[in-house]
Structure 1
């Protein structure tokens, strides 16, 4: 299991949280998703054999939230 933290441009509304969490939690391989509204970060736990951090980032961007940086451990 890998942990990923994606830093986003500032989020404008709490609805953004539900949109991101709902979409990412439906992805195969994503075990956990938490959006931190005040720090503009998305924390994930995922199975790197099923889904890549780049694919998660791509999904966040497609939802309309630019990713500033990505950290995977």
Structure 2
């Protein structure tokens, strides 16, 4: 198993968390998902023999959120599921 923490932009409410956790949780090979709104982070535990990080990132982007590669968080990001 591998564990990664991704910086995700646009999550700001419970519906955002439900979308991200629900969509990632359905992927074959994803063991657990925990989204953290205040930090803008998503912790994912996955089986690297079944799914790769690029597929996980793609699923987050397909849900409507952006992966931020650096640790800096921009201010003023709107909730992408409510707008």
> What TM-score do the two structures reach when normalised by structure 1?
0.89
Alignment of 1:53-64 (within 5 A): 53-64=53-64
Could you tell me how far apart the structure 2 residues matched to 1:27 and 1:10 are? 21
Count how many residue pairs are aligned between Structure 1 and Structure 2. 70
Could you tell me how far apart the structure 2 residues matched to 1:47 and 1:35 are? 18
- 2:5–2:42 contact (8 Å) kept in structure 1: yes
How many Å apart are 1:65 and its aligned residue? 0.3
3-state secondary structure, aligned to 1:49: coil
Q: Give 5+ residue unaligned stretches, structure 2.
A: 71-83
Residue in 2 that maps onto 1:27: 27
**Deviating 4+ runs (over 6 angstroms):** none
Could you tell me how far apart the structure 1 residues matched to 2:66 and 2:38 are? 16
How many Å apart are 1:59 and its aligned residue? 0.4
1:13 partnered with 2:18: no
Greater share of residues in strand: 1
The alignment yields a C-alpha RMSD, in angstroms, of 1.3
